Structure 1
Amino acid sequence: MNELLIAADRIWTGGILETGLAIETDGQRVTALRPLGRDTPDVHLPLLMPGCTDLQVNGGGGVLLNADPTVAGIEAIAAAHRRLGTARILPTLITDAPELMEAAADAVIAAMEQPGIIGIHLEGPHISPEKRGTHDARFIRPLDQRTMAVLRRLRGAGVPVLLTLAPERADPALLREAAAMGVVLSAGHSMATAAQAREAMDNGVSMFTHLYNAMPQMNSREPGMIAAAILSDAWCGLITDGIHVSPEMLELTLRARPRPDRCFIVSDAMPTVGGPDHFDLYGMDIHVRNGALVNSEGSLAGAHVDMVTSVRRLVRMTGIAPERAIAMATDIPCAAMGLAPLKIAPGMAMSDLIGLDERLDLVGIPGTGQ
C-alpha cells in the first residue's frame, strides 16, 4: 500500500490538542508524526486521537464477561468496543461465584497478548449488600483468601488488576496486602462514611468506582464517601451517559476537585453496546429503556454507551473543553492504572487511532480500512 499523508485540524499528542500536524502511514501503522507544512494531505480530518481506554467494560457485542469468561468472549467484547473507538479495555467481571472469578482470571491471563486487553477489573463480590445495585446478593462476601489467591496469580502473571470493593467490609490488613501486590483498589458499591473512606485510602485504596452511583449521597451532616473522594487526590471514575450522573453533578465534581487530572470516564458498558437491545444477567432479562439499561427491579444495570459517545456527551453537558474530556478517556485512565498512555508515534497501529468530526462523532479514516 502506498504511503498516505493524513492531516487533522487537531491531533491529540503529548496531552494536548496540537495543530498543524500530520501523520504518515502505510495504512497499517503510523510511520511518522510531523508538521504538515506546505504539503497537501491525502486525507484531512477535524481531529485525530488514540482510541479510548475504558477501565470498566462488562460486555459488548452481545457478550457478557460473566456469561462467557473465556478468551473468545474477551476478544469479542474488545472487538465490539474497538469498532466504536475504544482501543484498550479492562474486561470487567461483576459479582459472581468464586469459580467464575477464577475462570475469568485464567482467561485474561491467556488473552493479554490480544490487541486492547490491558488487564482485568473485578467489580465485587466484596461489596455492600445495601449498595449492590444489580449485583446478585447470593454471591456477596467479604474479601477473603480465595480472592487473594486469584490476585496473586494475576499479578504473578504481570496482569494489571483493578478491584472494586466496599472498604468498610474488608480487613485493612488484606487491603494493604493487595495494594502491596500492585492491585489497584477502588471503593465502590459501598456504604462507607467519609471517615471510613479516608481510612481506606490510608490502607491502599486509590480510586473510586463510578462516583455517585451505588454509594450514599452527600448531605449537610453526612458527607459520606463521595465528599471524601472529591476532596482527595484519588482517581475517580465517572459514567457520563447523562443518565447515571446529572450534568450539574458532573460539572460540580470537575470544578471541585483539587486535582482536575484525577477524574476519568468509564462506560460501564454491557452487551447491548455494539449488540442486541437486551441480554440475560443472573437469569433476569435486562433491556434498553429510553437509553438506560434496567433490570426487572427497576435498577440500573450497567450502561448502554460507548466511550466516544461519553466524551461527546460530557462536553455537551458540562461545557468543558474537548481536550479535557479526551484526556479523561485516554491518558488519565491509563495513569490511574499505572500504564503508559497510547501515543501517536511511529509504529502505532492504525487500528489504535480514531478520527472524530467537529461534533466529536466517530468517523472513518479513508485508506486505512477504518
Structure 2
Amino acid sequence: MNSFTSRLQTLAQRLPDQLTEPDKATLEAIYQQCLSTIDEPEAMFGYVLTKAMRKHVSGEQSNEHIYVQKFEIPQIRLFELLIQQLPLAALTQRCANALLVEGLKKAENPVLMDIGIGTGMQIVNVLHLLAKQPGCQVKQVTVIGIEPFADALQTAEKSLAALQLPFQVMFVPLVAFIEKMILAEIQALLPSHYDTLFINASFALHHIQQVTQRETVFGYIRDLAPKAFILSEPVSDHFESHYATRFQNAVKHYGLVFEVIDSLEITDKEKAALKLFFSREIDDVLGHTEAVRVEKQYAPQQWLDLFKTVGFTLEKPTVSFDIQEKNGVDLRTDLPDRYAVVFKDEEITNVYRATT
C-alpha cells in the first residue's frame, strides 16, 4: 500500500458519517496532490480513490474533466485495449469461450443465451471460434441477447448480422434487466425446437443489487435446465456494506489491476485511459451510497455458496486453452471448482461452469 492509499485508509475508517472538518481538508489536500502529479502511477491510483471518496462525502461528482481529458482515447481503441491487451480480460474471455465452444460444437441446433450481452464482442468471438472447430456439427445457432442498454444491443445485432459463417445465426434480442424479468418471459425467448442450451454471463450478474434477486435469477437459470451455465466475474467482496472494509477490498483488487496495466507494452496515455475506465467502477464502489451502488462484486466463496443454495453442480471438463499466461498473469486450471486468472498469487477474475 503506497503513501496515498495508507493515508486514505485511515480516512475510510471514519466514512461515511464520522469525517471531521480537518479530515475533509486532508482528503482535499491528498486529492490536489494526486492531481498535481497525476502522470505518476501512485498518484493516478490515489486520484481515482480520492475522487470516489470526495463524491461519497459530498454526494456530487467532481468536475475534473480539465485534468484528465489528455488521457481520452477513442472508445473503440479502449475496447481493443481491454480485450486484446489487458490479460485479465483476455484470459478470462478465452477461458469462458473455450468452455462454451466445447459444448456448442456437438449440437446441430444449439441455443446460446447471453445475459448482459453488451455490444456482442464476446459472442462474435465465440461464433468465430466455433466455426473453426474440427467436426463442428452446428447447422444453426440461436443467440439470445438480454441487455439493459438498447444502444449496445443494436450494436450486437449489427455485428451478428454481418457474420459470414458455415452455419446460420438467429438473433433474439431483448432490452431488459434480467432481475426484473420473470421465468415465463425468459422461457418465451427460447425457440420451439433446439438441441441444447448454454447460458453465458460475463461480468454482468454482480450488478444485481440484492441477495434475494441473485438467488431468484440463479433459480430461473437452473429452471431453464441449461447444459452449462458459464459465469465470469471479478474477484473482490464489494458487496460488503462496511465502508472501510470495502475500501480495503477495493484497494487490493484495483491496485493489482492497475499494476497489470502498468506492465503492458502500450503508451502511457493508453495506460491512463484504461485506469480511468476502471475508475468508473471505483466511483461506484466507493462513491455511491448503498441504495444506488451496482458494482457489488462477490468473493469466490460467495458465488460458490450461491451456486450451492440454488442447486447447481460445478464441473470442470477437460478443455484445451491455447494461452494460459500473459504479462505475468496466469490462467489457473487446477482449482477444484473454478478457473482463476491470477496475478501475484491473487485471484483477479474467476470463471465457473455450472450444471443442473
Decide which structure has the larger Cα Rg and report it.
Answer: 2
Going by fraction, where is strand more abundant, 1 or 2?
1
Name the TM-score class by shorter chain: 0.3 to 0.5
